[in-house]
Amino acid sequence: MTVTLQVVLDQLVSPTSPDLAEASASLTEALIATAPRGCDVSAIVPAPGIPEDAAVAGLSSETRLAVRRRELAASWQLGVTPGIGKGLIHSPTALAPLVRHDRVNETHQIVVTLWELRAWETPEELPRAEILACRALLARVTKHADAVIVPTHAMAARLAELAKSKLSKKVRVIGGAPAAGMRVPSDAVGRLRALDLPSSFVALAGGSAASDALAAAFAAVVAAGWDGDVVVLDVPEGEEPVVADIAAAAGLAESRVHSRGSLDRWDRAAVLSHAAAFIAACGRTDWPWRAVDALAVGVPIVAVDTPVHREVLADAAAYAEPAELGGALSRALGEDAGRLRVLAGDRAKGFAWNAAAERVWALHAEL
């Protein structure tokens, strides 16, 4: 008898976040590659189904629901889950068909994944409707999920505080990884040219939200005496002028700052591989997607000193408090550059989707 792990792949149909879409695809590919004997992987997706350019090879089947993602999210948040059968259900995000079920007698399991806690840490930066939806979803997760995966122990501790320890026994820590197959492409120089970027720069990531801490990152660039360009990744559409204003307030000329939105894995690898250093200034407990990408291509990293960064980056970063990032950046660009590149490459080996997938299979076996 074949045991099927059903993976919720709404992000491949209608992505709300490029990072979540990449993580969903990468983890699913790894789950297929590491499936134990007698097990396979299928997908649960909203209408109209996974497009051809996002298809995951090796899925045993696709349960295509009758509604689109927006309506699906609304119904699942209310506990209405038509078309969902019993079995092992795994969601690479927080969205899942969370309903009362009998895990012991019906072998019905539901596991969800949390990558950030912004609705609780920085609610002032989010629309009220999103905050309410996230909090309602956490209530259903607390009540109905059999396990909750978070990427770091730091987030597990923070989640325990927010949920008043109600989730403590359900939480498991399984880290993320760079997008599957991410490496510096052979046409990296051409990609930089196509993106209209210089050949050397300091890289950052984020937008106008105060918790993205671009102000501290720009101030660090100035304090370090870096007189080259600065590239800012993941700038939300329409926020480029605000980012330019933040840079100007720190003393950086507009001509030196290049804002780019979300890039695919190959463009990101091309850009980061040409960075003299990457500054991870955000202090939230989110999984640090771009810092992990920087590890993958061996970039010297400067990071604000937080439990998440210490746990994920270990000794592969120069740490400092927000106001002192300039000194850390100066060292990362100078005397510590070679050492940090080597340590980044070594640390990157600790993050792989196949390893995460094996732990996911083990978790479902445990449940």
pLDDT of 9-61, one tens digit each? 999 999 999 999 999 999 999 999 999 999 999 999 999 999 999 999 999 99
Q: Which residues pair with 230 in a beta bridge?
A: 202, 257
pLDDT at 105: 59
Distances (CA, A) of 31 to 37, 120, 146, 263, 356: 12, 31, 19, 25, 9
pLDDT at 8: 96
**CA gap 159, 170 in Å, rounded:** 11
pLDDT at 165: 64
Per domain, the residue ranges of the chain are: 3-177+352-366, 188-348
**CA gap 351, 248 in Å, rounded:** 36
b/e map 130-163, b = 16+ CB within 10 Å:
ebebbeebbebbbebbbbbbbbbebbbebbeebb
pLDDT at 104: 63
DSSP per-residue letters across 80-115: --TT--SSEEE-SSS--------HHHH--EEEEE--
DSSP per-residue letters across 210-246: GGG-HHHHHHHHHHTT--SEEEEESPPTT-HHHHHHH
pLDDT digits (tens, 9 = 90+) for 86-101: 889 999 999 999 888 7
SS3 content of the chain, % helix, strand, coil (to 5): 45, 15, 40
pLDDT at 106: 64
CATH number of 188-348: 3.40.50.2000
178 prior amide bond cis, ω within 30:
no
pLDDT at 250: 96
Superfamily of domain 3-177+352-366: Glycogen Phosphorylase B; (3.40.50.2000)
Q: Which residues contact 324 (CB under 8 A, 6 or more apart)?
A: none
- List the chain residues with pLDDT less than 70: 102-107, 165
**CA gap 151, 23 in Å, rounded:** 12
Which has the closest alpha carbon to 196: 291, 296, 267, 293? 267
